[in-house]
Structure formats: C-alpha cells, structure tokens
C-alpha cells in the first residue's frame, strides 16, 4: 500500500479517516490520546496544501442521531491540539457536508459529524460509501483502531478511489505489529481481559506462534476450570471451558509453555476491596470472585518473561480500575517495560495501565488498536489494510 507521503495532496480534497472515538465527560474530551496520535498525519497533509476532510465514528450510535455522541466537542479539542482552526459540519454526507468541503481552502481542515449517525456506515452501504467518496479526490486511512471493521468509510470509500494510502499512524502500526508475525525468539504473549469469547482466534494463533503463553484476567478462570479446579463466583463463560482445555492440550503436546496464575486476589465483589485477600490457585472460595492475580504470579511471570526476545501484551490481569485489584496489571506493565526485548502492548485497558504505571514510553510500541491488533496478529491482514492495497 502507498503512504500519504507518496500522494499528491496540494490543493486537493483529502478524505482522512481518523479514529476520534474518544471518551467524553460532560461534553469535554477526557482522554485525547487518539487525537494526538494522528496529528503528525494531519500536519503533513495541511503543510502539503491539502483541503482536509476528517471523518470518524464516536460510540455506538447505531444509525441514529444522538446528541451525546456528536463530534462537536471533539472538533474543539482537535483544534486546540492542532493549534489552528478546525471547521465542523453537523452531517457527514448531503448538501451541508458538500458545501463545507467546497468552502475549504488549501491548508484548512474540516471535521465531519459522526459517521455512525447513518446506518450505512456500519452496513457498508454502497450509496453511503459513494456519497462519502464524492467529497474527496484522495483517500487516506489513519484509523488503525477501526481497520478491522468492514465499514463504509474503511473499505467502501477506498475501493471507489484510485488515489489512496495509509496515514503515518496506520503505517507505523502495520510496521511494528508485523514484527510479531515473524518474531525474534523466544516469543512470549500475555493475554488477559474479562472475556475469552472475543479472543478465541487470537488465543489459538498465539498458542501456536508463541513459545510462552501467560494467561490472566477473567480469561484465566476458564483455564482454571479446565484443569478441574473451582473458580468460586468468578466470571466464567461455561461454554468456553472446552476451548481452554483444547489450548492446554495443544501446548502440552507441542512442548509450549503455558502459565496460569499461581495465586489470585479474591473478594465478594469488585467494590469489596477492603476485604480482599490472596489465595492459591487451588483454594478460590466458593463464595468469592477472583479479581486480580497475586504477587506470586507476578514473580512467576517475571521469571518466564526474562529470556524472551519479543513480548506482546493484551488485556488486564484483573479489575484494574478498582484498587486494590490493579496491582497485577500494573505489575505486568512494569515487568514488560523493563524487559530487554521487543515489547508491544495493545488494547485500551492495557495501554491505559501502561500510562498509569508511568512506563508507556519504555515499550517498543504502544498500539492504538485493541481489537485491530489482535485480529492483525491472528489473520496477518485487516479489511482496512486490504482496501488500501
């Protein structure tokens, strides 16, 4: 695929798909990381004289106009970070959008309203994709976090345009994550998070690709149950326990190392931190929940990660937004950051933990896409990347 650096942008209308799906609090952006990440691409386009049309989704509008999901506050923060005016129009297609685009001068930027206010975005409706494509001469995708979605602005628009390429952020993500497809070995993968269902393909692929697989978070409960131990009232998708057994059997037969937590921090609920206690993997009480990994697990993980030359981490080790159940996730962040290896972290919660632990800058690469990074590792491709080829 071409890079934005390879495209002629001067005086041309450039449709830039960004990922401004940021958290809002009281009508203000509470975390502007995703906006900041795409600023190098935006600045490059404006410096080269593009008439820049930025487009993004925000939240789950499901084809309905929801005022609380308007990108208007995002446009304000975008302009503040960019250090220059950003125009905003309250639709992404139709006469108002077309008028706003035509009014752009070279070197000016416009942000369209939430793409998901139209059902045609998630449905990849051809008419909606054609209407978006009509707004521009050139297409650039810098929304890696949405590149695994076969939506109109991700695949429908670029397939209708002859001039297209990757933004600097998407280019960097593909370059860095590609290192995990043929990693320096030993390759260790750490997978956590609440649910196993969204990570089935990744689990299967990583169990085959990695030399060492460390499992934590709610996902670990399925493996604990699979080896015949009780999990108390811990989060569990009962129908996924056979999958955990399949992964354990494969790793044993293939001579791979798979490590479960050796101890857990348990309590009646995530709000009962004061009564939290640490128990071994064999002794999770029937009336309590496993809400984090314990200190012995961190020692075990550190020992297993020490020889690794490549480490990938996705998913927290517990309910890390509720202290004291954040200790395991913060501990893993520090262990990985200190490793003498290529280190990649992906997924919103893992990235947030790395920032909160003050070690994000020590990782080789911090990915902006959780689901996208997992799918890229599993498949080696994404719909949004294929649409640019």
Q: Which of 192, 196, 284 is nearest to 233 (CA)?
A: 284
Instruction: Give the H/E segment covering residue 122.
Output: helix 119-122
What residues have CB less than 8 Å from 311, skipping those under 6 apart?
187, 188, 189, 190, 305, 336, 339, 341, 342, 343, 344
Q: Which of 160, 195, 204, 309 is catalytic?
A: 195
Sole residue written with tokens 């789950």: 60
Residue 28: Cβ within 10 Å count: 12
- Is CATH 3.40.50.1260 correct for 4-169? yes
Interatomic CA distance for residues 56 and 17, integer angstroms: 6
- pLDDT given at position 199: 84
The string of pLDDT tens digits covering residues 61-117 is 999 999 999 999 999 999 999 999 999 999 999 999 999 999 999 999 999 999 999
Residue 378 has pLDDT above 90, yes or no: no
Same fold across 4-169 and 178-379? yes
Q: What mean pLDDT, rounded, does the chain reach?
A: 95
* Residue 17 annotated to the active site: no
Which CATH superfamily is 178-379 part of? Phosphoglycerate kinase, N-terminal domain (3.40.50.1260)
**Per-residue pLDDT averaged across 297-303, rounded?**
98
% of the chain exceeding 70 in pLDDT: 100
Helix or strand or coil: residue 310?
strand
* Residue 34 annotated to the active site: yes
Distance set, CA 131 to CA 91, 144, 201, 231 (Å) = 12, 23, 35, 52
Residue 255: Cβ within 10 Å count: 7
Where do the structural domains in the chain lie, given as residue ranges? 4-169, 178-379
CB–CB of 265/278 below 8 Å? Answer: yes
Interatomic CA distance for residues 339 and 6, integer angstroms: 36
* Residue 370 annotated to the active site: no
- pLDDT given at position 237: 93
Please calculate the CA angle 10-15-18 and round it to the nearest 5 degrees.
Answer: 120
Q: Which of 218, 232, 346, 371 is catalytic?
A: 371
Interatomic CA distance for residues 251 and 207, integer angstroms: 7
The string of pLDDT tens digits covering residues 23-66 is 899 889 988 989 999 999 999 999 999 999 999 999 999 999 99
C-alpha torsion sign, points 4, 7, 12, 17: negative
Cis peptide before 274 (omega within 30 of 0): no
The string of pLDDT tens digits covering residues 192-247 is 998 888 788 888 889 999 999 999 999 999 999 999 999 999 999 999 999 999 99
- pLDDT given at position 194: 86
* Residue 209 annotated to the active site: no
- pLDDT given at position 217: 95
- pLDDT given at position 345: 94
- pLDDT given at position 197: 81
Cis peptide before 186 (omega within 30 of 0): yes
The string of pLDDT tens digits covering residues 128-178 is 999 999 999 999 999 999 999 999 999 999 999 999 999 999 999 999 999
Q: Which of 13, 34, 48, 164 is catalytic?
A: 34
Interatomic CA distance for residues 15 and 51, integer angstroms: 9
User: Can you point out the beta strands (E) in the chain?
Assistant: 13-17, 24-25, 28-29, 51-55, 86-89, 109-112, 138-141, 164-166, 187-191, 212-215, 257-259, 263-267, 277-280, 289-293, 310-314, 342-346, 365-366
Q: Which of 145, 348, 370, 384 is catalytic?
A: 348
């Amino acid at each position: 695929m071409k890079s934005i650096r390879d495209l002629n942008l001067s005086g041309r209308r450039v449709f830039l798909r960004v990922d401004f799906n940021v958290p809002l609090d009281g009508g203000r952006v509470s975390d502007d990381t995703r906006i900041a990440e795409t600023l190098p691409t935006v600045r490059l386009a404006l410096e080269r004289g593009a008439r820049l049309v930025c487009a993004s989704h925000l939240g789950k509008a499901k084809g309905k106009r929801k005022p609380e999901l308007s990108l208007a506050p995002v446009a304000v923060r975008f302009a503040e970070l960019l250090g220059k005016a950003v125009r905003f129009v309250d639709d992404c297609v139709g006469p108002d959008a077309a008028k706003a685009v035509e009014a752009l001068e070279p070197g000016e930027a416009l942000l369209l309203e939430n793409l998901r206010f139209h059902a045609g975005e998630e449905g990849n409706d051809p008419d909606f994709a054609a209407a978006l494509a009509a707004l521009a001469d050139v297409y650039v995708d810098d929304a890696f976090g949405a590149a695994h979605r076969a939506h109109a602005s991700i695949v429908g628009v670029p397939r209708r345009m002859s001039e297209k390429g990757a933004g600097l952020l998407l280019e960097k993500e593909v370059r860095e994550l590609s290192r995990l497809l043929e990693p320096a070995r030993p390759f260790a993968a750490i997978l956590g998070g609440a649910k196993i269902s969204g990570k089935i393909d990744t689990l299967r692929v990583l169990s085959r690709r990695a030399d060492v697989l460390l499992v934590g978070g709610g996902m670990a409960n399925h493996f604990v149950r699979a080896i015949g131990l009780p999990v108390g009232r811990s989060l569990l998708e009962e129908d996924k326990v056979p999958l955990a057994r399949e992964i354990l059997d494969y790793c044993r037969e293939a001579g791979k190392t798979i490590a479960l937590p050796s101890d857990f921090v348990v309590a009646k609920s995530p709000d009962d931190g004061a009564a939290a206690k640490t128990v071994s993997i064999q002794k999770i009480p029937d009336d309590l929940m496993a809400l984090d990994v314990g200190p012995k697990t961190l020692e075990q993980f550190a020992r297993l990660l020490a020889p690794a030359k490549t480490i990938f981490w996705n998913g927290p080790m517990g309910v890390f937004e509720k202290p004291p159940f954040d200790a395991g996730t913060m501990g893993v962040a520090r262990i990985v950051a200190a490793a003498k290896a290529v280190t990649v972290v992906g997924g919103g919660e893992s990235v947030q933990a790395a920032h909160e632990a003050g070690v994000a800058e020590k990782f080789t690469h911090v990915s902006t896409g959780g689901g996208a990074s997992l799918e890229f590792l599993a498949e080696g491709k994404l719909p949004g990347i294929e649409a640019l080829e």
